Chains A and B, each alone.
Chain A
Amino acid sequence: TQLLEQSPQFLSIQEGENLTVYCNSSSVFSSLQWYRQEPGEGPVLLVTVVTGGEVKKLKRLTFQFGDARKDSSLHITAAQPGDTGLYLCAGGPLESGNTPLVFGKGTRLSVIA
């Protein structure tokens, strides 16, 4: 069974600070997705990374897929209160066929103004 471990589980920071959250596994994934979930809503996709070593930027968010495609990180620069939410990583299994994404348990971020 493939598992994704996210850390930290909780993070509370002041507005303007930088932060990094991690998504790690002992398994290789075909791709890695990051979702953000705000209170009372379903998760929304932020980015998909598919190539080992790939880096993608989305405004103040930087996503990296590890060279071995076993881990990923999300770095937020100058965090804003609007960044508050639950950040979930999800890995695409290597097996072909009908195998769904594997979700981590999430990092709950609180940015205080």
Chain B
Amino acid sequence: GAGVSQSPSNKVTEKGKDVELRCDPISGHTALYWYRQRLGQGLEFLIYFQGNSAPDKSGLPSDRFSAERTGESVSTLTIQRTQQEDSAVYLCASSFGTGGGYEQYFGPGTRLTVT
């Protein structure tokens, strides 16, 4: 079956512009996660959604970052007034549930470059 897909694969934007990154999780996965990965670094947790529960936004670095999810399907991560330090790969993952018993399936990421 289809895996997690993300679009666009690459995005170059000018400082100060808004960007939207899209994630299509695996069908049936109730949990969806967004991570940021700076060049040569590990994963930085941003936000996750679990079913109809309120999302855990504890990892969002500033109020310029927000995310929405439609039911248990598509999610959009929005970065407003982009800054150069926002340049990174943004990874989305989904799983059947949260916690240690569930494998996270990752998308290929969106590489964001802010010039």
Contact = CB atoms under 8 A, between A and B. Distances in A.
Which range holds the interface residue count of chain B?
20 to 34
Interface in A64-90: 86, 88, 90
A103 interface: yes
Q: Quick one: which of B35, B53, B93, B99 has the most chain A CB within 10 A? A: B99
A48 to B, nearest CB: 7
A35 B35 CA distance: 15
Interface string A32-64: 110100001111110010100000000000000
Q: Quick one: which of B42, B45, B93 has the most chain A CB within 10 A? A: B42
A93 B102 CA distance: 12
A30 B99 CA distance: 9
Closest 7 pairs between A and B when the two form their complex, measured CB to CB: A92-B100, A42-B106, A105-B42, A31-B100, A106-B42, A98-B50, A30-B100
Interface of B: 4, 31, 33, 35, 40-43, 45, 48, 50, 53, 56, 91, 93, 98-101, 103-109
12 contacts: A31-B100, A41-B106, A42-B4, A42-B93, A42-B109, A48-B103, A90-B100, A98-B99, A101-B98, A101-B100, A103-B42, A104-B42
